[in-house]
Homo-oligomer: A and B are copies of this chain.
Amino acid sequence: MLTKRQENILKLIVEHYVKLAKPIGSNLISKKLKCSSATIRNDMSILENVNLLEKTHTSSGRIPSEEGYRYYVDNLMEPKKMNAEDMLKLQIIFHNQQLPLSDCINKSLQVISDMTNYATIVLGSSSHDNLLKQIEVVPIDDVSMIVIVVTDRGHVEHKELKLENVSLNEVKKTVNLINNLIVGTPIDEVSTKLEYEVKPVIGKYVTQHEQLYNAFYNVFSDFSSHNVNVVGKNKFLDQPEFSNIDKIKNIFDKLDDENILREIKKDDDNNIKVYIGHESNIDDDVTVIKTKFKNGTDEGTLAIVGPKRMDYERVVTLLEYLKTNIEDNN
């Protein structure tokens, strides 16, 4: 059990380290608290014994350990009122009544990335949760056409299709068939439904059914629904802990990998969650702070990704604020 003073020391060390990015010594802390550096040193060494602080070498100042950050996040920080400027910038976006929610979210994340210097991520609903709403076909020339697929959540994908010797009329019949038979199906089940519900029927109505069936089958099996948007990856290049190219390479590779990002979504907690260091699944020096949002049928996950040495209070406040703005939107 920590004393009040020990908690204060830990808090001060985290907060200073976040700003200064170098080990914090007992002198600096003693100026903030009303006691001598020797006293601080005693407490620091206790904090080190319970693994909340670390030294970079025998005679260095202290930095928070992963557990230290955890303790700080769970017990010490006090997410408080937003900085006025941050608030204003987001208000402008959400006060624009015309703007659809998805645009509000994207713009906010751009703004947040710029003001914090961290990367931000939106993960939309996965193909599993998207139901087929409608498909449209726009012919481009004799052999090419664009197939557009829209889901009930407003997610849109398109794909060019090349069909030799198939009349537009036949294509339209197929599209009608699909629109009649399988609208409302989750996107990731469409391929199967196509096979079992459309394939048997299509032969009766459509002449070049083989070719058409195959083409549409491909459209849906490719449907990536890669509903992921990472903003401000380059911000990592500004942080001293990532001055090492190999570290950057690792982080960028991870941030480009949808599967890894989707992991962030897995957690079902609706509140704000903080994944520190190795918990982030990205890099030991990275922290991910995420939350889910839900507004009508629109739902997804927001995340802010930055160094472990992150301004936790600010980011949590910001994310909390963003979440309620999204959820109250209309």
Contact = CB atoms under 8 A, between A and B. Distances in A.
Contact size range, A: 35 or more
Contact of A253 (B99, B234, B253): B234
A160 interface: yes
Contacts of A134: 138
Interface stretch (A40-48, A148-156, A304-312, A317-325): A148-156
Contacts of A100: 144, 160-162
A56 interface: no
A162 B237 contact: no
Given A237-B252, A245-B237, A253-B234, A158 B160 contact: no
A298 to B, nearest CB: 9
Interface in A88-109: 97-100, 102-103
A136 B97 CA distance: 23
A154 B146 contact: yes
Interface string A212-224: 0001001000000
B141 A133 contact: no
A250 to B, nearest CB: 10
7 contacts: A134-B138, A141-B296, A146-B150, A146-B154, A156-B158, A234-B253, A237-B249
A243 interface: yes
A150 B138 contact: yes
A140 interface: yes
Classify the secondary structure of A's interface with B: mixed
Residue from A102, A160, A215 having most chain B Cβ neighbours under 10 A: A160
A36 to B, nearest CB: 40
A4 B23 CA distance: 61
Given A97-B162, A146-B154, A243-B245, 19 more contacts: A98-B162, A98-B215, A98-B218, A100-B160, A100-B161, A100-B162, A102-B160, A133-B138, A133-B140, A136-B136, A138-B150, A140-B152, A141-B297, A146-B150, A154-B160, A156-B158, A234-B253, A237-B248, A245-B245
A256 interface: yes
Contact of A156 (B143, B148, B152, B238): B148
A155 to B, nearest CB: 9
A136 B148 CA distance: 10
A156 B146 contact: yes
A152 B134 CA distance: 22
A191 B187 CA distance: 34
